[in-house]
Every structure is written in structure tokens, then in C-alpha cells.
Amino acid sequence: MPHVVLSGEYDFTRIYRQLKKKIHNIECTTIIKYDDSFINNDNNLILIKTIVIENQKAQSFYIMVMQKEQQLTIRLDPLTDPTKTNAVKKSLGMLAKELLNNNKDLKVTKTNLNDFIV
């Protein structure tokens, strides 16, 4: 399962507030759209509705951002289970990069998506 683990100091509620709806067009063949975000009552899980269109094939799924101690794990929600295409992996990597850029104390400590964190 594709994932990114970030470690360091952060404010989880602030991370949730930083998330905005966005559309990325990549090389005329891929669109990644981050839509609505939701945080649970315990303030330890964020779900981000995501749609990717790659080579005219659309997939809709949720990205999970989970908090545990001083770590954030970014991964696909297993209930939506999209096909793990390059666009799906890139959607995780781009989110990780955005969180890193907005929270300077975070760093990647574990991932199988090095090529997609751009």
C-alpha cells in the first residue's frame, strides 16, 4: 500500500485548516483534484476526497492523514481502494510535499513513494 510517514512537530488542527480544494493539471494527460476534507471528532484522522483522471480514466477515492504521537501517516483509505496508478501515487506524494512545505518541522521518515514526492 502506498504511504508516506512524516515526523516532527505539528499542529494537526492547523494542518486540517491548511487543506484547500485544488486542481492540478499534469502533462495534459493527468488531472488531480483534492476536494472536500473532513476531520473526525477525535482530531486524529483527516479524509480528503480525491479524484484523479489519468489517460481519460477517472478514479475517486479518499486519502487518509492519520496522527499518531509525533507522526503523520498519509495513505489511501482502504475502503475506497483505487487502482494504484502513477496518478494515484502522485496525489499522495503531492499532498506530502504540500504538508512538508507548510510545516517546516516535518520530515519524511518512511515511504515507498520517493519518486512521487515532488
CA distance 89 to 65: 14
Checking 58-63 for CB contacts under 8 A at 24+ apart, the result is 59/83, 59/85, 59/87, 59/88, 61/88, 63/34, 63/91, 63/92, 63/95
Query: What are the beta bridge partners of residue 108?
Result: 6
pLDDT in tens, the chain (118 residues): 899 999 999 999 999 999 999 999 998 899 999 999 999 999 999 999 999 999 999 999 999 999 998 899 999 999 999 999 999 999 999 999 999 999 999 999 999 999 999 7
Residue 56 CB contacts under 8 Å (≥ 6 apart), including other chains: none
Which amino acid, 78?
A: P
User: Of all helices (H) and strands (E), which one includes residue 14?
Assistant: helix 12-18
CA distance 31 to 66: 25
Say whether pTM exceeds 0.85. Answer: yes
